[in-house]
Amino acid sequence: MHRTSQDALRVTAELNGSYQEPRRVRELLSELTGGPVAESVAVFPPLYSDFGKNLRLGERVFINSGCRFQDQGGVTIGDDCLIGHNAVFASLNHAMDPARRADMIPAPIVVGRNVWIGSNSTILSGVTIGRNAVVAAASVVTKDVPANSVVVGSPARVVRTLDSVD
């Protein structure tokens, strides 16, 4: 785990250290994740990941600058997703018991197809966001988000549903 984290820090330092052509950004993302990254993926650095190997990006994903992925527990971003500036994906939590507080509890984050996550949002461990959902800017998502819904606030709550086009 420590070696993989160090590799992630090295790759993201290269990604973020100076301008990179889009093709080179995808190459570095592929090195970070340990798997293929679709040609249709676009990322505006900086992007931060403290593990990398448990980060999966679908087709036609756009990630704006400043996003942070704590992916030890797994972060999957579905096809056609838009991720706003400075979004945080935190797939680790800690125990409430003070004697076990340092224990890390991983749980995956799954973002369905065609989701829009607004700037400065935080997605917490164990959360699934359903297809076509919208997470409003600055929301803190602490529980699952139903498909075709809009969530707002801290903690995020459903404020409306969308007519599905699927």
The catalytic site residues sit at 94
Cis bond leading into 45, ω under 30°? no
Those residues whose C-beta lies under 8 Å from the C-beta of residue 127, and which sit 6 or more positions away, are: 109, 110, 141, 142, 143, 144, 145
Reference 63, options 30, 91, 41; nearest CA is 41
Token look-up 């990254």 returns: 37
Instruction: Please give the Cα distance from 163 to 21 (Å, whole number).
Output: 38
